[in-house]
Amino acid sequence: MSERQQPRGRIAGIDYGTVRIGIALSDRGRTIASPHENYTRRGLDHDARRFTRLVDEEQITLFVVGLPVHLSGEESQKSIEARRFGDWLRELTGVEVEYFDERFTSVEAEQHLLDAQLTKKRRKRRLDMLAAQIMLAAYLQSTDSGRQTPGALDD
């Protein structure tokens, strides 16, 4: 059995927000998602420097931006904003951007943090990057169904 050639390079999962952006990263083999950081936005110039540096430092080859859609599947005002942000990321960095349904990721992340009995302050510091991790993990699972054998954790 031959293994289908899988794309390489790290993916950055983005939980878009107007104040904070949650960032999660995959390994180079695109099998594991890990929380990376909550970035507090500080204006277009600072944001541009942060995401350009992220691409360079972490060797990002794809951004996956979460789309907060309604239960019906229709896009919301926030998903339109997330698409604008994704377009900006693509133009800024030259890195391809895909969009992925992020319904319930913040709710699931909040529940995990409550279960861990973290204080409200600690939950707030982790929420967005955990939501990004949950969304990115779901993306990785949805695109990996053709893999025949597990890949290395990291190259």
Task: Write the pLDDT tens digit of every residue in 72-112.
Answer: 777 788 889 999 999 999 999 999 999 988 765 565 555 54
The answer to whether the beta carbons of residues 89 and 95 sit under 8 Å apart is yes
Q: Report the Cα 58 to chain-centroid distance in Å.
A: 13
Sign of the Cα pseudo-torsion (40, 46, 51, 57, in order): negative
Which residues, 6 or more positions from 108, have their beta carbon under 8 angstroms from its beta carbon?
131, 134
**What pLDDT sits at residue 99?**
93
73: exposed, middle or buried (C-beta count within 10 Å: 0-12, 13-18, 19+)? exposed
What 3-state DSSP class applies to 92? Answer: helix
Calculate mean pLDDT across residues 31-46.
Answer: 94
Between residues 56 and 69, the one the model is more confident about: 56
Give Cα 83 distance to the centre of its chain.
13
pLDDT over 60 at 26, yes or no: yes
Which residue in this structure is represented by tokens 């994704």? 86
State the pLDDT at residue 64.
96
Mean pLDDT of the chain: 80
Residues 135 and 137: their CA atoms lie apart, in Å, by: 6
Q: What is the spatial distance between Cα 105 and Cα 118, in angstroms, rounded to a whole number? A: 18
pLDDT in the model for residue 125: 61
